[in-house]
Every structure is written in structure tokens, then in C-alpha cells.
Chains A and B, each alone.
Chain A
């Protein structure tokens, strides 16, 4: 069973609107959680990385939150732009196997004019 579950699988939003993506994980012992953006046909690009002690981190219009107690994270996209259309992947690593990151399947976001 995948230790990182993302929802929704896909979503369509109008340009200028906000949206929130969810990530639930069971990876333990937890080390850090990252959000990546992957454009079609490209490699993933890092948006944020959060450790156990951090509960929010922003990168421009992207804001990630982390609740290490409930093992949940969210990625909020504010005032979406057409260029935000991509797959957003949640990645979690454990302290005892930092080299083997656990990837979610991603949420495919489509921003329409």
C-alpha cells in the first residue's frame, strides 16, 4: 500500500481561483515532506520542504501546511494562473531511510481561462 496518498486525483479550476490539494501519509518515523510541481514531459521541481517542526511554508502563490500529528499536509494555490497547470506531487521521507523518498501519485491540476 502506498504510504503517501493524495487527493483529489485531478481537478479543474478557473484562472484566478484558489485551490487546495491534500496529502495524507503513514511514513514513519517522519523526517520531512516536500511538494513538487511537475509540468508535462518535465522533471519535478521543488516547491517547498517542511520538517517536523514546521507547520507552514510559502513559495510565492504556493503555501504548504503540515500537521505532523495527523500526518496530513496541504498545498494551497492562490490566484491560479494558466502556468499552474501541472501535476503536484507530495513526497515524504523517513528519518531511517532518507535516501528512499515515498512519492504520492500526484494531483493533476488544470487551470482554464
Chain B
């Protein structure tokens, strides 16, 4: 597609439910990032993929958070046993190549945990 696509745009979950957020990066983009953005704050790094390899997952806040990109294109961020503090916008972004410098963001998935 022309841009980074994320789904769902909005998700309401009851505390304890599992959720899965999907990211379709720009076709051919090697690098993919997930960020968490709390209201009124800048995005915070969660994890980074280069193709299918998850090179950095140091930003994942707990072992309830899991991300995968099995074929090096679409990525899924899964949150198990959701808690209220997980409520945030989850942004996905992709790079073409390191040296282009241009990082393209999706519109985000807003998760609300009740």
C-alpha cells in the first residue's frame, strides 16, 4: 500500500482480555518499529524488527507484550491479559533503508482497557 496501515484503529477491551494489533508496513520496507503513546506524551519505543528478525524488544513493558513479524512484512503486537495501564495509542512505523532517514508512521491503534 501507499502508507503504513494499522488495524483496528480503535479497540475496547475488558481487563484480562487478550488483544492483537496489526501493522502493514510500506511494501518493501525492511525495518519496522512499534511505539506506545500515552495521552499527551511522545511515543515510547517498544520493539524493532529488521525483516523477520526482532532485533530489539527492550521497550516491551512486560512479558504480557509480544510482537512478531513471521514473514518480514506484516507485524502483530499482542497484549495478553490486558490491564488498564495498557490503554494507549500503539503506533507502528517503517523505514525503507537506514540511510534514507524517513520514518513513516501509521495512524495508530487506540486501545482502551476497561
Which A residues are closer than 8 A to B by beta carbons? 4, 32, 34, 36, 41-46, 49, 89, 91, 98-101, 103-106, 108
In the complex, are the beta carbons of B101 and A49 less than 8 A apart? Answer: yes
Would you call B33 an interface residue if the criterion is a C-beta within 8 Å of the partner chain's C-beta atoms?
A: yes
* Contact A99–B41 (Cβ < 8 Å): no
Residues of B at the A interface (CB closer than 8 Å) are 4, 31, 33, 35, 40-45, 48, 50, 55-56, 58-59, 91, 93, 98, 101-108, 110
* Contact for A43 among B41, B50, B55, B107, CB less than 8 A: B107
A51 and B4 CA atoms in complex are apart in Å by 25
Listed residue (B40, B98, B101) with the most chain A CB atoms within 10 angstroms of its CB: B101
Contact A43-B91, Cβ < 8 Å, known A103-B43, A104-B42, A106-B42: yes
Q: Check if A100 sits within 8 Å of B48, measured CB to CB.
A: yes
